[in-house]
């Protein structure tokens, strides 16, 4: 029995239930949010350490033997994702103390946040494909409610697109699970991986694999079904945006990594080529969409799309180096993207707008905030020695080694255009003078007294430190990504770990 494998799901679920029980005491919910996410991070680190020590951790729920029970499995990739979930959860919980409006707190902001984290953690740890669907829905339902909390017009319009596309993708996922069950008669992912190779009709397996690709592709916001993301991610309050930006699409990417390394590796030349071009177009459309935007959070939303392309590229090339790059990219991206959204929230608090034309002069008044923006922004664009440089370097190098020169060229071009967008934000928000029509400039001088000023800055500084650590102290992180990629390239290890019953 490995308690560390269950804790990342149990902690947020319990915290969510407790927050519901203390519905009227907002103060208690706030304390609970920070404690529970802190514990989640601690449990994640424990899980990662013990996963590295043992290779795989497996828990069979209800002690039924493996293919019959629902199993929780953690490999190094899953454990890394749990640690990242903990980091982002803690950062968001602290940031929420200051940024969340009182009305949202009263209407269950914290319970929903815990539920979302539980869904995300469950999706990263489950070893059962139908269970994955259930965790997806847990996560989605919490995200629906968080997205619409506040009920403004833009939120409603964004939510309709978000809800529809995500429900559509869930229905495709469910159908694909059904078809797969009809062929192999099992839902355990390791068992499916074993049996799917001896199916009578291999063509049908490829069809089902494409259904999974479309479904997870929608959730990951890959080309061509990404448009729900920039239509909705800038509408809720900023802590929610940051949480979604960091974690939700990455669950889709993780699911793609899981099924297209473990289960669907029969026809790599076909499926992974489709993924490759989807990745290339995702990068390109995302970054071009961002170039046309002049709203802080919208630019960032489009950049989520373009960055998803790099992660898919790592999977699509399907070489050991490419997978290392993909895993490294996920680690870098989650931290950087969340941080950029949090910075956009601080400038909003200072100047009351997300529109670039209404912003300006932040560098003059708050040079340290400008620095805090510059670290994740330049990292996103891939400037050495920050984390994004190494992430991009590995992925591009892998694509060159695989002789996919067109895709490498696109990846490099997209890096350049990302820099353009980041410099645009830098010039408009931080460098230029505050426009004359902004009369509320007194806010910049720090005259506005608001509660918990520190809570805005602690997460931003912490995440910026993570970015610097990943960049400057990259070797251990690279080794970690290498272990994860090694396990992904050898699905036999995963199958043995789950079905062999060697680890208890």
Site string for another protein, 426-445 (x = CB under 8 A): --------------------
Which one, 41 or 163, has the nearer CB to another protein? 163
Q: What angle do CA 416, 255, 72 make, to 5 degrees?
A: 140
**At closest approach, how far in Å is the CB of 305 from another protein?**
13
**At closest approach, how far in Å is the CB of 160 from another protein?**
6
Cα separation, 418 vs 354, in Å, equals: 19
Which one, 9 or 32, has the nearer CB to another protein? 9
Q: Which of 3, 65, 103, 178 binds another protein (CB under 8 A)?
A: 178
What kind and span of H or E run contains 212?
A: helix 202-220
Which one, 71 or 276, has the nearer CB to another protein? 71
Q: Which of 28, 160, 210, 274 binds another protein (CB under 8 A)?
A: 160
Q: Do the beta carbons of residue 317 and residue 398 sit within 8 Å?
A: yes
**Residue ranges in 221-295 assigned as alpha helix (H):** 228-232, 238-262, 268-291
Which one, 107 or 144, has the nearer CB to another protein? 144
**At closest approach, how far in Å is the CB of 222 from another protein?**
19
227 binds another protein (CB under 8 A): yes
Q: Helix (H, G, I), strand (E, B), or coil: what is residue 26? A: helix
Q: Helix (H, G, I), strand (E, B), or coil: what is residue 74? A: strand
Q: Which of 152, 355, 440, 450 binds another protein (CB under 8 A)?
A: 152
For 69, 123, 143, 241, the CA distances from 126, given in Å and listed in that order, are: 11, 6, 20, 26
**At closest approach, how far in Å is the CB of 421 from another protein?**
15
Q: Do the beta carbons of residue 196 and residue 208 sit within 8 Å?
A: no
Which one, 45 or 145, has the nearer CB to another protein? 145
Chain centroid to Cα 453, Å, comes to 27
Q: Which of 219, 234, 303, 332 binds another protein (CB under 8 A)?
A: 234
Q: Do the beta carbons of residue 504 and residue 71 sit within 8 Å?
A: no
- Written as six digits, the tokens of 197 are 């190779």
157 binds another protein (CB under 8 A): yes
Which one, 188 or 339, has the nearer CB to another protein? 188
Scored b (16 or more CB within 10 A) or e, 244-266 reads bbbbbbbbbbbbbbbbbbbbbbe
Closest to 92 measured CA to CA, from 45, 19, 43, 36: 36
Q: Which of 22, 144, 277, 478 binds another protein (CB under 8 A)?
A: 144
Contacting residues for 492 by C-beta, under 8 A, at least 6 apart = none
Closest to 442 measured CA to CA, from 351, 360, 357: 351
Q: Which of 74, 148, 249, 265 binds another protein (CB under 8 A)?
A: 148
Choose the binding region for another protein from 92-100, 101-109, 150-158, 279-287 (rule: CB under 8 A): 150-158
450 binds another protein (CB under 8 A): no
**At closest approach, how far in Å is the CB of 168 from another protein?**
7
230 binds another protein (CB under 8 A): yes
What residue has token string 């828990």?
59
126 binds another protein (CB under 8 A): no
**At closest approach, how far in Å is the CB of 220 from another protein?**
20
Q: Which of 29, 100, 209, 235 binds another protein (CB under 8 A)?
A: 235
Exposed/middle/buried for residue 62 (C-beta within 10 Å: 0-12, 13-18, 19+): exposed
Contacting residues for 257 by C-beta, under 8 A, at least 6 apart = 77, 315, 326, 488
Choose the binding region for another protein from 158-166, 245-253, 255-263, 272-280 (rule: CB under 8 A): 158-166
Chain centroid to Cα 246, Å, comes to 4
What residue has token string 């990455």?
250
Q: Which of 31, 103, 164, 473 binds another protein (CB under 8 A)?
A: 164
Which one, 284 or 324, has the nearer CB to another protein? 284
**At closest approach, how far in Å is the CB of 154 from another protein?**
5
* Residues of span 280-319 touching another protein by CB under 8 A: 289, 292-293, 298
- What does DSSP say about strands 57-60 and 71-74: parallel, antiparallel, or unpaired? antiparallel
Please give the residue ranges that form the binding site for another protein (CB under 8 A). Answer: 130, 133-134, 137, 140-141, 144-145, 148, 151-154, 156-161, 163-164, 167-168, 170-172, 174-175, 177-179, 181-182, 187, 227, 230-232, 234-235, 289, 292-293, 298
């Amino acid at each position: 029995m490995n308690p560390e494998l269950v804790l990342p799901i149990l902690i947020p679920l319990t915290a969510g239930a407790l927050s519901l029980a203390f519905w009227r005491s907002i103060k208690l919910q706030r304390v609970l949010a920070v404690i529970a996410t802190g514990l989640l991070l601690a449990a994640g680190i424990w899980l990662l350490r013990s996963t590295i020590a043992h290779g795989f951790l497996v828990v069979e729920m209800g002690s039924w033997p493996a293919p019959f029970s629902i199993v929780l499995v953690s490999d190094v990739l899953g454990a890394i994702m749990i640690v990242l979930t903990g980091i982002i959860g803690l950062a968001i919980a602290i940031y929420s103390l200051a940024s969340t409006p009182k009305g949202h707190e009263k209407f269950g902001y914290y319970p929903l946040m815990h539920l979302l984290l539980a869904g995300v953690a469950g999706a990263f740890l489950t070893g059962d494909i139908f269970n994955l669907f259930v965790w997806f829905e847990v996560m989605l339902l919490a995200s629906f409610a968080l997205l619409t909390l506040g009920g403004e017009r833009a939120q409603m319009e964004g939510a309709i697109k978000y809800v529809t596309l995500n429900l559509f993708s869930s229905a495709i996922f469910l159908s694909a699970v059904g078809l797969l069950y009809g062929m192999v008669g099992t839902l355990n992912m390791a068992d499916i991986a074993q049996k799917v190779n001896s199916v009578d009709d291999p063509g049908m397996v490829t069809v089902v694999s494409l259904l999974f690709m479309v479904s997870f592709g929608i959730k990951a916001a890959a080309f061509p079904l990404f448009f729900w993301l920039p239509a909705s991610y800038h509408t809720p309050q900023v802590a929610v945006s940051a949480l979604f930006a960091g974690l939700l699409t990455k669950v889709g990417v993780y699911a793609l990594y899981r099924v297209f390394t473990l289960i669907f590796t029969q026809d790599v030349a076909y499926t992974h080529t489709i993924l490759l071009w989807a990745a290339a177009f995702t990068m390109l459309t995302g970054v071009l969409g961002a170039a046309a935007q002049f709203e802080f959070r919208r630019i960032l939303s489009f950049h989520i799309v373009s960055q998803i392309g790099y992660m898919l590229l790592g999977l699509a090339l399907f070489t050991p180096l490419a997978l290392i790059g993909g895993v490294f990219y996920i680690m870098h991206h989650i931290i950087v993207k969340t941080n950029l959204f949090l910075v956009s929230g601080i400038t909003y608090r200072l100047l009351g707008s997300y529109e670039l034309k209404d912003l300006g002069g932040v560098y003059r008044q708050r040079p340290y905030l400008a620095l805090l923006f510059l670290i994740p922004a330049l990292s996103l664009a891939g400037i050495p020695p920050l984390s994004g440089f190494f992430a991009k370097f590995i992925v591009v190098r892998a694509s060159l080694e695989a002789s996919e020169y067109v895709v490498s060229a696109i990846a490099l071009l997209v890096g350049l255009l990302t820099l353009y967008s980041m410099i645009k934000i830098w010039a408009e928000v931080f460098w230029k003078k505050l426009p004359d029509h902004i009369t509320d400039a007194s806010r910049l001088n720090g005259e506005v007294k608001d509660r918990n000023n520190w809570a805005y800055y602690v997460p931003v500084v912490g995440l910026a430190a993570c970015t610097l650590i990943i960049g400057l102290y990259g070797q251990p992180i690279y080794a970690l990504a290498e272990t994860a990629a090694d396990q992904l390239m050898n699905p036999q290890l995963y199958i043995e770990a789950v079905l062999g019953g060697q680890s208890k």
